[in-house]
Amino acid sequence: MAGVQGYIFDLDRTLVDLQSFTDYAAALRDVSALVGEQEGAAVPDADWDAPTLSTMAILVALAGDERWEAASRAVAAHERAAIPQSRAMPGLASLEDALAGALRAVVTLLPEDVARETLAHHGIHVDVVVGRDPLIPAKPSGAGLVVAADRLGVPVSECVMIGDSTWDYAAAVDAGAAFIGVPVSSTAFTAEVPVAEGLLAAVGAARA
């Protein structure tokens, strides 16, 4: 993968595990109380629990809807509450060395402020964070990757996305970026998706 100019990371379960400590069942109840019965958007299946997948699919479905803001805020309260318990994914402590000054961004389903607080909690420096934003279509759309590459000042086609889920893969394909999966379960990806064993191996593979 010679010529990689920028690294675009997913956050949750790629850099830091916040998801396992976030009460998405409660978040989903709060969202349902706000917006009523809302069908989720047609999105890729993922190796997430059902409430997490439903919550994210509903937020995607509410894009462009005036109720999105309140729904996102309700979910964010639960995500923020998980930051103190969140855990660094294996290899995170050595990521800075592995990147050796390379440009890096985060594109996440979390709101930018929650993402930045999570990264700060774990002492990770990232210049560009594209989070859950009413004006930028969320993953599985590739729009966030295009915005991130633009903010890094490099073509998205010369970026590699590193992430744990099918939504990350779909976003990379949509944006025309390379992709390396860092699966946390054996069912995370189908066989055609390139994967590495953890964050540092993924950065190494991107550089090779």
- Taking CB positions, which residue lies at the least distance from Mg ion? 12
Shortest CB 109 distance to Mg ion, Å = 8
Shortest CB 47 distance to Mg ion, Å = 10
Shortest CB 182 distance to Mg ion, Å = 9
Q: Which of 6, 7, 12, 166 binds Mg ion (CB under 5 A)?
A: 12
Per CB under 5 A, which region of 31-39, 116-124, 157-165, 184-192 contacts Mg ion?
Answer: 157-165
Q: Is the dihedral of CA 58, 47, 90, 161 positive or negative?
A: negative
Distance of CA 131 to the CA centre of its chain: 8
Per CB under 5 A, which region of 7-15, 32-40, 74-82, 143-151 contacts Mg ion?
Answer: 7-15
Q: Which of 55, 111, 164, 178 binds Mg ion (CB under 5 A)?
A: 164
User: Distance (Å, rounded) from C-alpha 33 to C-alpha 26?
Assistant: 11
- If one counts every other C-beta atom within 10 angstroms of the C-beta of residue 169, the result is 27
Q: In terms of CB distance, is 35 or 184 closer to Mg ion? A: 184
By CB under 5 A, tell whether 13 contacts Mg ion.
Answer: yes
Q: In terms of CB distance, is 137 or 163 closer to Mg ion? A: 163
Cβ-based neighbours of 1, under 8 Å, separated by 6 or more: 160, 178, 205, 206, 207, 208
Shortest CB 24 distance to Mg ion, Å = 13
Total residues at interface with Mg ion (CB under 5 A):
5
- List, in sequence order, every residue forming a beta bridge with 145; answer none if it has no partner: none
Per CB under 5 A, which region of 8-16, 48-56, 69-77, 94-102 contacts Mg ion?
Answer: 8-16
Cβ-based neighbours of 84, under 8 Å, separated by 6 or more: 121
By CB under 5 A, tell whether 10 contacts Mg ion.
Answer: yes
- From first CA to last CA, the distance across the chain in angstroms is 6
110 closest CA partner among 78, 76, 71: 76
99 contacts 7 by C-beta, under 8 angstroms: yes
Q: Residue 140, preceding bond cis, omega within 30 degrees? A: yes
Shortest CB 65 distance to Mg ion, Å = 24
Shortest CB 100 distance to Mg ion, Å = 24
- Chain contacts with Mg ion (rule: CB under 5 A): 10, 12-13, 164-165
